[in-house]
Amino acid sequence: MEKLKLLYFLLGVIGPGGGTLLFIGLPNSTTLMENQPAGIVVYTFSVNSTSDLSVTPTIINSNPLTSAFTIDQKPPNYLVVTTGNPVLDFETTPSSFDIQIYMKDDTMATNLQILTVQLANVNEPPVFLDNLATQVVTIYIQEETAQGNIYTILASDPEDPTSALTYSLLPASAPFTVSSTGVIRSTKTFDYETDPHSYSLTVKVTDSGGLSVNGSLVVMITNINDGTPYFTMTTTTFTMPEEENPGAVVATITAKDPDNAGFISTLYYSINTPNQYFSINELSGVIQVAKRIDVDAKTLRLNNIISLEIKVTDLPSSGNSNYTTINITIQDINDNPPVCTQYAWSYAVPETQVNGSLITDLRDQCNDIDIDPINNAFNFTGMSGLGSNERFQMIPAGSGKIILTGNLDFEDPSNIGAGNEYSLTISVQDIASPYYKQNIYVYIKTIPVDEYPPVFNSSSYVFNVSELSPPNSIIGYVYATERDYPYIGITYTLEGDGSTLGATSIFWIDPNTGVLKLSDYADYETKTQYTLLVKATDSASKFSTATVTVNILEVNDEKPVCTPNSYTLSVPINQATGTNIQNFKLTCTDRDSGPNSFQYVINSGNINNHFAFSPSSGSNVSSLVLALPFDYAKGGDTTWNYKLKVLINDGNLLSDSPQSKAVVQTGTVSLFINVYIPGLTTTKTTTTPSVIYVTKSENVYSPAAWYIPFVCTIGALLLLGFLGFLAYLLAKYCPCKGHTKPDTEPLLKPAEKKIKEDVFLEMTKFNTVFDGEAVDPITGNVYEYNSKSGARRWKDTKQPINTVPVSPQLPVSPTEQTSLPVQSSGTPNKKVKTPSTAVKAEDGAKATMPGTPNKLQTSQQTAPNLESENKSSPSRFPISPRHSPKVSPKIPKTPPA
């Protein structure tokens, strides 16, 4: 044990965290008196730690195991105290306990030490072991009873049960004695008519140390009648088979009354034992069956002998009575079939169950309630049904043990029971006549096994949340899946061991959906980032984990704090303008704002704007100066006591977060300023005003503010003029619905004006009859065309030819071959060389395009010469039917050479 204590000490000094964590006063041992109540201090110790304790000293185990001790904290000490549950007794509980005390600090350092508590024995008085310990014991003695033993005292010394005790009775004059072994004996034969009817005795038991205990005993003398009847039959044991009909005679009771010698006496018989199976004739003493008896019933199964107490009385009432007991043995017959708890059983067997496994033992589920072993024996026979002998067998035969002998692999296609049930039929039959028989049905279903843990869709997550987000705000989502089928569900939890210390107290995750929420406000100034460990667990307790990083976004949520926040100043009436008033300065701080982010505004009380702060912004220190002189002589000023409310706004320049700069916090300072005339007034400056003025402001017009209604009137007139001008513009330039004016200009501009618009070709689809064929000079494919409308389609695919966007007047070298993309159904886009009819750049506007009708080229040539406007743009211009001149091109019957 000493080696174990040393090992605990060495392991506990420096834990996994690397911090120093020591018990002061442990390990140690102490002594406790037995039978102490709750709250008794057993031992006091203290703790030496370089870090805060995350787990205060706690009793984690004891040898032997007990809950009789706990630890109370009374800084700087810790007290091991008794709980009173249980009360430790030297004679009934162990005499020594080794208590293991454990603690842990924030650096993950731990310590475990042992306190040994020795239980001290205390001498205790003897105790009664019978009813004398809790009540007054009453003993009844019939008169004419011979003297002898009437009661035996049971007592013991808790300290030494084998030690000798001394017994005594009070009063000593009572006709009773007690032996050295505690046996109380009567010393006379009592007569109810002459002796007292009761005796009250005090029983005293004393141990060897002189400690004693008293008990109360009352002896009652009862009256009896002489001449009690007695029984004369020679046997008291009888036998009968079960299931006998009511009325059958079982036995006859006979008795005589000695008091009735010389004359006829009538005796009355009765069954004194409560029962439902037998009755007795009160005059003849004949015992008959009153109810059919089933010896297999629960009440008779364990004991098939029925005992009856027979009473005989010499008078109908208040006579002398006598009793005797007879035993009637009920013989078993085979009248019950085998019975099972149920006759249809269903078992779910995993697909990984190995051969030779026991599926069920039917003998544990069936029973024959007959008592006789010959009548209650049975066997299992005739196993049949789907899966019998192939995958399931009864081994050994007739035993009722169903053993797996085949393959239940869920993925094996030969397993016909996959996803279904195997059905077995088995018979249970009595061995003895009349051979009762029952059928049992067993259904066995193969179930899949959960083999794969959940998998997160990402091994790590990063979320951002503002420090002003309220509790229950959604931070983000995590999601996991599993490959097992069927899918039952995944539970998400936050694991404290893998989380940043204290993180789980402000975060909560929905166990069903994986939604991560705030459970409390986050504080950027306290902690800027949390790392959480999220655990996904499936129904089979398989799990996987992912890390979640939560970044706390800073918001300007701290108000400026200024010193002093309340002050009383005095200023002479002739104070020079721009001078500091009594050298008063405000010094402000803000946890989330820089020292240059403060702005000082006098919100109220600055009548006639006499006071101002310099600087008014951009510094955390500002002085109060006189901005305008006082004018009491001419009536410009009438107030001598000013109460200024100063607002200090922060611009939150410390943070670069847009969210932080969008919020401005405001602190307040109250200043009380008294104006005095030098030489007439004595002033005193204090940190709190000696006089507080309560003023009431009303929204009334002051003649000094004549400019306010003037400015409002001018502004209203300007606004009305601006609105009228807007209405005029809307009426002039915005056409009203339903009053559209006719067009005054042609939609199609003449070619010579060089309209800078894209040229598009409008094509109209008709039910065209293609009456000619030609070969496309670019692709070499054969197409059909209509000589009137110019519509074309490829001959082989019967698909219309897509119009190819062509850039007009594209510069091409006379010797350079041009490639154009051609799109057609079934023909991929590819570059094809043009024939030698390609034209020069300077003649491009008049050149005939290969494979293009002359009329179509003419319509394209009507477009403005965009090359002259923008020669640097090589882009092609799409042909759109929405802006092209509505001219139906004509294609010649034969294509140009």
For position 19, what pLDDT does the model report?
Answer: 66
For position 9, what pLDDT does the model report?
Answer: 45
For position 473, what pLDDT does the model report?
Answer: 92
Q: How confident is the model at residue 847 (pLDDT cuts 50, 70, 90)?
A: very low
Kindly report the number of other CB atoms within 10 A of residue 842's CB atom.
10
For position 194, what pLDDT does the model report?
Answer: 82
Task: Give the β-pairing of 366-367 and 339-340.
Answer: antiparallel
Higher pLDDT, 667 or 533: 533
Q: Which CATH number does the domain 230-331 belong to among 3.40.50.2300, 2.60.40.60, 1.10.10.10, 2.50.20.10? A: 2.60.40.60
**Please, which contacts does 631-639 make with residues 24 or more away whose CB atoms are closer than 8 Å?**
632/573, 636/608, 637/607, 637/608, 637/610, 639/607, 639/675
User: For 144-174, what is each residue's pLDDT tens digit?
Assistant: 889 999 999 999 888 778 888 999 999 989 9
Kindly report the number of other CB atoms within 10 A of residue 21's CB atom.
23
Q: Average per-residue pLDDT in the chain? A: 77
8 Å CB contact between 436 and 336? yes
Q: Which CATH number does the domain 127-222 belong to among 3.90.950.10, 3.90.930.12, 1.10.357.10, 2.60.40.60? A: 2.60.40.60
What CATH fold (topology level) applies to the domain 455-553? Immunoglobulin-like (2.60.40)
SS3 299: helix
Residue 78, pLDDT above cutoff 80: yes
- The CATH architecture that domain 339-447 belongs to is Sandwich (2.60)
- Residue of 451, 442, 459 whose CA lies nearest to 485: 451
Please tell me the least confidently modeled range out of 337-341, 513-517, 593-597, 757-761.
Answer: 757-761
Residue 214, pLDDT above cutoff 70: yes
Distance CA 205, CA 184 (A): 13
Distance CA 73, CA 44 (A): 10
* Structure token digits, residue 553: 């976004």
What CATH fold (topology level) applies to the domain 2-120? Immunoglobulin-like (2.60.40)
SS3 9: helix
Higher pLDDT, 186 or 792: 186
Residue 321, pLDDT above cutoff 60: yes
For position 672, what pLDDT does the model report?
Answer: 93
> Would you say the pTM of this structure is higher than 0.75?
no
Q: How confident is the model at residue 13 (pLDDT cuts 50, 70, 90)?
A: very low
Query: Residue ranges of the domains in the chain?
Result: 2-120, 127-222, 230-331, 339-447, 455-553, 561-689, 751-897
Q: How confident is the model at residue 224 (pLDDT cuts 50, 70, 90)?
A: low
Per cent of the chain over pLDDT 70 is 74
For position 768, what pLDDT does the model report?
Answer: 66
User: For 368-420, what is each residue's pLDDT tens digit?
Assistant: 888 888 888 899 988 888 877 788 899 998 888 999 988 777 656 666 544 56
Higher pLDDT, 868 or 753: 753
Residue 521, pLDDT above cutoff 50: yes
The DSSP bridge partners found for residue 870 are none
8 Å CB contact between 537 and 454? yes
Highest mean pLDDT among 32-41, 764-773, 874-883: 32-41
Instruction: Give me the mean pLDDT over the 543-572 stretch.
Output: 88
For position 100, what pLDDT does the model report?
Answer: 95
- What superfamily in CATH does domain 561-689 come from? Cadherins (2.60.40.60)
Distance CA 329, CA 401 (A): 37
For position 35, what pLDDT does the model report?
Answer: 83
Task: Give the β-pairing of 149-152 and 183-186.
Answer: antiparallel
For position 807, what pLDDT does the model report?
Answer: 38
Residue 311, pLDDT above cutoff 60: yes
8 Å CB contact between 35 and 89? yes
127-222 and 561-689 share one CATH topology?
Answer: yes
8 Å CB contact between 758 and 877? yes
Amino acid present at 697: S
- The dihedral over CA atoms of 177, 181, 183, 187, expressed in degrees to the nearest 10, equals -30
Higher pLDDT, 862 or 46: 46
Amino acid present at 409: D
Kindly report the number of other CB atoms within 10 A of residue 326's CB atom.
22
User: For 606-631, what is each residue's pLDDT tens digit?
Assistant: 988 899 988 888 788 888 999 899 98
